Amino acid sequence: MKRVTAIVRPERMEPLKDALFAANVSGMTISQVHGCGAQHGWTEYVRGTEVLLNMVPKVKFEIVVGDDDVDGLVDIIIGAARTGEVGDGKIFVAPVEEVIRIRTGERGEEAV
């Protein structure tokens, strides 16, 4: 099993969520996060003083899938989240050693 973590633009949250539901991905965790990447934020003026805003709002999706489903899931995320501009985000894929459903005690892929 793998954990696919996608950090995307906030305005791409609904289209990505809809694309994941259309692909029958039902288990996901979505979090509002802040970070900085290649763009390093921007400057704004507040009451005549220059202020550097370097923490950009993003949305983080976390999904656990079987090893065979990773490539299809990554393609769905890229298709729904890509704008072609700096700041589109990143996708991270990491192994998951064990999953246990608390309610039933199921383990492994059955628990996902």
pTM of the model: 0.84
Residue 26 has pLDDT above 90, yes or no: no
pLDDT at residue number 48:
85
- Alpha-carbon gap, residue 77 to 86, rounded angstroms: 16
pLDDT at residue number 37 = 75
Closest by Cα among 23, 57, 21 to 42: 57
| pLDDT confidence of residue 74 | 97
Higher pLDDT, 18 or 86: 18
Q: What integer pLDDT is reported at residue 43 of this predicted model?
A: 75
Specify the pLDDT at position 39.
Answer: 65
Cα gap 112→106, rounded to integer Å: 9
User: pLDDT-derived band of residue 41, with 50, 70 and 90 as boundaries?
Assistant: low
